[in-house]
Amino acid sequence: MEKEFIDLVNHVFTLQWASWAVPVSILAAFVVKRFIPVLLISVVAVAIHHAGPVMLPALLGGESMSTIVNDLTVMIPKLEPVSLLAEYIAYVFLIFVLSLTRRDMFRPGVTE
């Protein structure tokens, strides 16, 4: 059980994952103020995380929308549900913590 968890963490949470997750989480943290919206925005963040690396190069390369849709439909069956759940939980944590940090930093009563 412990070995499977460590393999999952090594498989999912890579430098490439962090390079997409940190900017998406920071942007999402500016939108939310409560925990329930964090749960919903995290679903969108996971979708952006997986669709972004497929769509961005295609859009910058001038590919047609049908090609992009075909690329996305090929990508969807390759996604692993356990990995998606781990990423969702990580996004919930990142967005919520960054949102709390943002609200605390810009609170009017904070003095040095």
- 58-107 tens-digit pLDDT: 888 888 888 888 888 888 888 888 888 988 999 999 999 999 888 777 77
Is 111 inside any structural domain? no
| Interval 39-48: pLDDT, tens | 999 999 999 8
- Scanning 1-112, the segments in alpha helix (DSSP H) are 2-12, 15-29, 35-60, 65-75, 81-105
Q: What pLDDT, on the 0 to 100 scale, is given for residue 83? A: 85
CA distance 111 to 31: 25
**Beta carbons of 41 and 88 less than 8 angstroms apart:** no
Range of the domain at 39: 2-105
**How many structural domains is the chain composed of?**
1
Q: What pLDDT, on the 0 to 100 scale, is given for residue 57? A: 85
